[in-house]
Amino acid sequence: MKRTFLFATAIVVSFLTPWARSADPLELKLPNTKGSFRFAVIGDTGTGDQRQRDVGAMLERYREATEFETVVMMGDNLYGGESPKDFRDKFEVPYAPLLSKGVKFYATLGNHDNPNQSSYEKFNMKGQRYYTFRPRDGIRFFVLDSTYLDKKELDWLEKELSVSGSEWKIAYFHHPLYSSGETHGSAIEIRKVLEPLFLKYGVSLVLSGHEHFYERIKPQKGIQYFVVGGSAKVRKGDIQKTDLTAKGYDSDNSFMLCEIDKDTLYFQAISRTGITIDSGSFERVDAPKAQSAAQ
Amino acid sequence: MKFLLAATLLISSILCAADDVRLKPFNDAVAKYAAIQKTAVAKAPALPKEATPEQIVAQENSLVATIRLARPRAKQGDVFTPAVLPIFQKIIKDYLSGSVNKENRDTAKQGNPKYQKEKGEKDPVMKVSAIYPKSASLSSVPPGLLAALPVLPMHIEYRFVGSTLVLWDNLSNLIIDYIPGAAPSL
């Protein structure tokens, strides 16, 4: 019954979103290597409006091309209310084509999200405000609640990082530790408690949202940071000129695709209308302490 | 030098112990609320870890009804009693006032409904046992301040709404108590 609903919704959505029907060829920059792990990143999504549906439709086109099975969400999953109708309109409908194909979404909590979202079946948080998951051997995600980093959460994070033997450690949460946004900027107090742990245990990649744009930060102390918070809202012209920015995009909505193949992560940021706005690759951080802990 | 260090440690431990005694009414009131919350959860429709939105709402509604029934005369100051107010005010002042604490203030403004409001969002109404609306944003709380404030049981949190410190039940969304103007610098 649920599958039928999602399938029917997927068909309706595909007719309502012009980008989904576009015959333009996709500009796929990822190597799309057989056996690699591919995932998508979206942030600040929960508006339920046409822009969110456009991004959802473009995501589906790239899923068809890359067959990613995982989407990570940077928070602010539902704006302005959390009734059953809100869950449908602001999540299930925009991503119906993906959900109907069995793609799994893993959410984090933003400042607009009630913690009870952690029990919602399709966010895969299993009732936890912060959690970890390993989609593939050697790759582990650490998902944090950055609105309320109490000692319990920080102790949990350190323990999980210390025992993880995964070569790829990826953290994501709502508030960016580095950002050139005029509206919010870098979350410096949060950085003070998280960055030392990321450095100590060899986190390679940190993803966040909150700012309604895309920004790739120049590597900070060897860690690669991305802000992906423009997947439904966009703050045009909000990226200020700073020394942090490697690439910024604040003129339309966007999302990001990633592909991990052995020690390399490839990324491609894409606009709502399918324009590639950034792409590249980097190697993972070596983490001798974490590796020795796993041996 | 050693004497100075020992004296400082002794004084701070005496002050901490004094605070512990002064905070007892607060800790007792919080524990009492947590017990009510626990009973309410037991009475509510079970919430699986992979729930539907309907199941989430059903549990929240049940919790609200049971907790309100269990605290019919709850009022502001029942948990943040007058005796403990100076302790909270001092801790908050230490972490949020002055030029050295600008970054802590910036953190407490993140998501604070006074500073960040999306179109159509309304400020939460500050009233004990009122629901903190899901449409309203939740403030960040600086990690350093959280570490300095008395530890709370799971599912009870501190949040800021403007300069008000709110004690919030994150399962039922009920406001347990609040201190108006606790953070004058916000």
* Chain B residues within an 8 Å CB radius of A192: 143-144
How do residues A22-70 score in pLDDT, each as one tens digit? 557 899 999 999 999 999 999 999 999 999 999 999 999 999 999 999 9
Greatest CA span in chain A, whole angstroms? 53
What whole-number distance in Å separates Cα of residue A96 and Cα of residue A11? 9
Report ipTM (2 d.p.). Answer: 0.90
pLDDT (0 to 100) of residue A290: 42
What whole-number distance in Å separates Cα of residue B160 and Cα of residue A209? 21
Residues 6+ apart with CB under 8 A from A154: A193, A197, B143
Tokens of B56: 């989430």
What whole-number distance in Å separates Cα of residue A132 and Cα of residue A148? 17
How do residues B100-114 score in pLDDT, each as one tens digit? 999 999 999 999 999
Q: pLDDT-based confidence at A291, cuts 50/70/90?
A: very low
Residue whose tokens read 């992979």: B50
pLDDT (0 to 100) of residue A294: 36
* Chain A residues within an 8 Å CB radius of B53: 82-84, 86-88, 120
pLDDT (0 to 100) of residue B120: 75
pLDDT (0 to 100) of residue A292: 39
- Please give the share of chain B, as a percent, with pLDDT higher than 70: 90
User: Which candidate from B54, B103, B147 shows the least CB-CB separation from A84?
Assistant: B54
Whole-model pTM? 0.91
User: How long, in residues, is chain A?
Assistant: 295
Average pLDDT of chain A, as a whole number: 92
pLDDT (0 to 100) of residue A52: 98
- Residue A238's CB is within 10 A of a number of other CB atoms, namely 19
Whether residue A192 and residue B151 make contact (CB cut-off 8 A), yes or no, is no
- Using an 8 Å Cβ cutoff, are B173 and B156 in contact? no
Compute the Cα dihedral for A271, A232, B113, A189 and give only its sign. Answer: negative
Tokens of B34: 């947590």
Q: How distant is the Cα of A22 from the closest Cα of chain B, in angstroms?
A: 32
Residue A295 in this model has a pLDDT that exceeds 50 = no
What whole-number distance in Å separates Cα of residue A147 and Cα of residue B110? 8
- Please give the share of chain A, as a percent, with pLDDT higher than 70: 89
Helices assigned H by DSSP within chain A? 2-16, 18-21, 50-66, 84-87, 96-100, 151-163, 188-200, 288-294
How do residues B7-61 score in pLDDT, each as one tens digit? 555 555 544 555 678 999 999 999 999 999 999 999 999 999 899 999 999 999 9
Which residues of chain B approach chain A closer than 8 Å at the C-beta?
47-57, 59-60, 103-104, 106-107, 110-111, 116, 118, 120-121, 134-135, 137-144, 146-147, 151, 157, 170-171, 173
Of the candidates B172, B71, B59, B107, the one whose C-alpha atom is nearest the C-alpha of residue A190 is B107
pLDDT (0 to 100) of residue A289: 45
Tokens of A207: 């993803």
